[in-house]
Amino acid sequence: MRHRRAVLGVLASVGSHHREGERRPERHDHRQDVQDEPELEPVHFAILLSSRPECVAPYGRGQTARVRIRERSVFDAPPERVWSVLADWEQQASWMPDVAWMKLDGIERELGARLRVRTKVFGIPATTDVVRVTVWEPPVRLAIDHLGFVRGRGEWRLVAATGGRTAFEWEEELTMPPGWLGELAIRAYGPVQRAMLRRSIRNLSRLVGPAR
Contact (CB, 8 A) for 34 and 172: no
Instruction: Please give the share of the chain, as a percent, with pLDDT higher than 90.
Output: 49
What band does 56 get if pLDDT is binned at 50, 70 and 90? very low
Is the bond preceding 139 in cis, omega lying within 30 degrees of 0? Answer: yes
What band does 52 get if pLDDT is binned at 50, 70 and 90? very low
31: enclosing H helix or E strand: none
What band does 179 get if pLDDT is binned at 50, 70 and 90? low
Mean pLDDT of 155-176: 95
Contact (CB, 8 A) for 118 and 128: yes
Higher pLDDT, 124 or 1: 124
Q: Give the ranges where the chain is alpha helix by DSSP (H).
A: 79-86, 180-208
Predicted local distance difference test score (pLDDT) of residue 100: 93
Asked if residue 140 has pLDDT above 80, the reply is yes
Q: Per residue in 8-31, is it b (16+ CB within 10 Å) or e — as a string?
A: eeeeeeeeeeeeeeeeeeeeeeee
**Predicted confidence (pLDDT) per residue in 87-124, tens digit:** 999 999 999 998 999 999 999 999 999 999 998 876 77
Among 58-62, 125-129, 199-203, the range with the most confident prediction by mean pLDDT is 199-203
Q: What are phi and psi of 49, to 5 degrees?
A: -80, -30
Global pTM value = 0.67
Q: How far apart are CA 74 and CA 208, in angstroms?
A: 11
Mean pLDDT of 132-137: 98
Q: How far apart are CA 137 and CA 143, in angstroms?
A: 9
Q: How far apart are CA 204 and CA 118, in angstroms?
A: 19
Domains of the chain: 45-208 (3.30.530.20)
